[in-house]
Amino acid sequence: MKAVIQRVSHASVTIEGKKVSEIQNGLLVLLGIEDADAKEDIEWLSGKIANLRIFGDAEGVMNLSVKDVAGDIIVVSQFTLHASTKKGNRPSYIKASKPDIAIPLYESFVRQMEADLGKKIQTGEFGADMKVALLNDGPVTIIFDTKNKE
């Protein structure tokens, strides 16, 4: 799994002109899934995101997690995180999972994220043409790859 985490002042997802998700202070998580992903990837990534200390404390130091600040999360599926640009100028998405594999993993990730956060999270809609709006706070953007845990 690959994830791009953005600390946001607010974020929303709109599909066909209808706003389906909206948060204020929290995290926008763009999630890419590949066939090799498993329960261990879901648990590791969700735990890292829920406990990632990227929110400012009283002194303005990034010492607090989204849980600590009672923030919210939106998770949006994004197969393009697995783009390969090695050959030519048109990206290949061969590593990105097809819906029959990706949807159950995406749904499992959302459930795990809710358990780790201790509350409901917002989502986009898997496979939909989504308009994602956000105000990146900081900006703070972190990239995770469960196959390369650095």
Residue positions annotated with a catalytic role: 78-80
First to last CA, the chain: 14
Q: What are phi and psi of 119, to 5 degrees?
A: -165, 170
Which candidate, 2, 1, 21, places its Cα nearest to that of 12? Answer: 21
Bridge partners (DSSP) of residue 74 are: 28, 122
Query: CA 113 to CA 126: how far, in whole Å?
Result: 16
Query: CA 64 to CA 56: how far, in whole Å?
Result: 6
Which amino acid is located at 132 in the chain? V
| 98: DSSP letter | P
Residues 143 and 30 sit within 8 Å (Cβ to Cβ): no
